[in-house]
Amino acid sequence: MQVKRILNILLFCCCFFAKGQQRNTPWKWNEFVIGADMSYVNELEDAGGVYKMNGRKEDPFTIIKSIGVNTVRVRLWHTPAWKKQLNSNGKMYSDLFDVEKTIRRAKQAGMAVNLDLHYSDTWADPAHQSTPAAWASLSFEALKDSVYQYTFSVLEYFKARNLVPEMIQIGNETNSGMLWPIGKTEDAAGWQRYAALVNSGMKAVKDFSATTTIKPQIILHVAQLQHVDFWLENLIKNGVVDFDIIGLSHYYPWSNYTTMKSIGSKIDSLQTAYHKKVMIMETAFPFTNANADTHTNILTLNNQLENRYEATENGQAAYIADLFKTVKQNKGSGVMYWEPAWISSPMKDLWGTGSAWENAAWFDFNGNLLKGIRFFKK
C-alpha cells in the first residue's frame, strides 16, 4: 500500500537523525496512571507560549513529571495539511514528526506514553470521524489493509528511534465508529465494518508486539460513561475482544454521572462485566470562569456538579483529587487530563486565536503552575 511505502521512506530518511535515543523499559502495570495529554505543547511553544514553576521558566514535561505525572498522551493525525494554513511557520503539528518530538520529550523526562491514533487528518470525536484524504477512495477491504499497514508502520517508525509507546489507542472517542462513512455505526452492517477496522488495527499492534520488548497495551476509547455499555456490547458482539483497556472520556457538562459515587460505581461495574482494565482518558475542570483571550472557552462551571466544586484553583484541585481517588479506589487503572498545558498564546486553531481551554489548564494566565495541582506529588 502507498501508506506503507511512504512510512518506510520516512523511516529510512530519518534514521540518521535518531540521536539521543531513549532506553525503553517495560511499563509497571501495577502503577496507577497519572496522565496528561501534551499534544499542543510543541505548537504552543512555537507560538510563544512559556511555562513556569515557582516563577521560573521550565520545560513543561519536566514540570509535570516533577509533580507526579507518569504518562503523557499524544494524538497522531494522518496528514494534517490544514495546519500549514494556520501557522505562519508553515509547520504541520500532530503529524508523525511532531509526535516523535513529543514522545522523545516525554521519555527523556522519564514518563510512559499513550499514542492516540485518530485515523483522520483532523479531530476525531463522537461527531466527527472523517477518513484521511489519502484513503478517501478506498474500498472497505483496502481500508482495512491500510489501517493495518499504517498502524504497524507507525509503531515500526517509533521502534527504530527507541520510542515505542507503552499504550496505543485504536481510534479516539469512537462512539459511532471511525473512518466514516465506511466505519460509521448507523446500522448492523456499519457495526460489522467498524469492528473489522478495529480488529485490523489491533492485529497490527499484536503483530508488532511480537517483535519488541515493550508491548503496547491496546485501548478502545468512548466518550462519556453513559454510552460505554451499548458501544462495548456491539463491539464484542462483532468480534472485538483482544484489547486491554476500556478508555473513557469524562467531562461533567455532558455526563449523566454527576457524583463521585456514581462514577466509582460505574468504573467498578465495567471491570466486573467486561474483565478489562478501565481508565479515564480525558477529563478536565476549570480553575476560573474568566478568559485570558478572545477565544471562547469550552468549559465553564454551571450546575452540572455537586455544589462542593467551584471554578477556583482550590475547586479544580479538589475535583481532580477526588476523581483520581474515586477511580483508584474502584480498581480503575488511571486518569489522564486533557491538554493541561493549553495556555493562552497567539496560536491559532480552527475556531480562533488563543486558547479555548486556558481556564481549565494547570497553569495560570501568566504561565505559572497552579499551586493546587501539586497534590499529585505525594
Catalytic residue numbers read 173, 282
Between CA 177 and CA 181 the distance in angstroms is 9
Residue 18 has pLDDT above 90, yes or no: no
Average pLDDT value for the chain: 91
Residue 4 counted as domain residue: no
Average pLDDT over residues 149-175: 98
Q: What is the CATH number of the domain that holds 257?
A: 3.20.20.80
Instruction: Say if 1 falls within a structural domain.
Output: no
* pLDDT for the residue numbered 308: 75
Neighbours of 3 (CB within 10 A): 21
Determine the pLDDT at residue 29.
65
User: Does residue 2 form part of some domain?
Assistant: no
Q: Per-residue DSSP letters for 210-228? A: TTSSS-PEEEEEEESGGGH
Q: In this predicted structure, what is the pLDDT of residue 27?
A: 60
- What is the three-state SS of 118-134? CCCCCCCECCECECCHH
- Dist. CA 171–CA 132, nearest whole Å: 13
Average the pLDDT over 78-105 and give the result: 93
Q: Give 298-320 as a 3 state SS string.
A: CCCCCCCCCCCCCCCHHHHHHHH
pLDDT of residue 10: 42
Name the strand (E) or helix (H) holding 60.
helix 60-66
Quick one: average pLDDT of 76-95? 91
Indicate the residue type of 7.
Answer: L
What's the rounded mean pLDDT across residues 119-146?
Answer: 98
Peptide bond connecting 181 to the previous residue in cis, omega within 30 degrees of 0: yes
pLDDT tens across 216-274, in order? Answer: 999 999 999 999 999 999 999 999 999 999 999 999 889 999 899 999 999 999 999 99
For residue 371, the model assigns a pLDDT of 86
Side chain identity, residue 3: V
Domain holding 42, by residue range, is 30-376
Which of 311, 344, 307, 328 has its CA nearest to residue 378?
Answer: 328
> Binning pLDDT at 50, 70 and 90, where does residue 307 land?
low
Identify whether 22 is part of a domain.
no
Residue found by looking up cell 511505502 in the block: 5
Q: Which residues pair with 35 in a beta bridge?
A: 71, 336
Query: Is residue 16 included in any domain, yes or no?
Result: no
* Structural domains in the chain (count): 1
Is residue 6 in some structural domain?
no
| 25-46 pLDDT, tens digit each | 556 667 899 999 999 999 999 9
Asked whether residue 301 carries a pLDDT value surpassing 80, the answer given is no
Is 18 domain-assigned? no
**Is the pLDDT reported for residue 376 higher than 50?**
yes
Predicted pLDDT of residue 232? 97
Asked if residue 300 is part of any domain, the answer here is yes
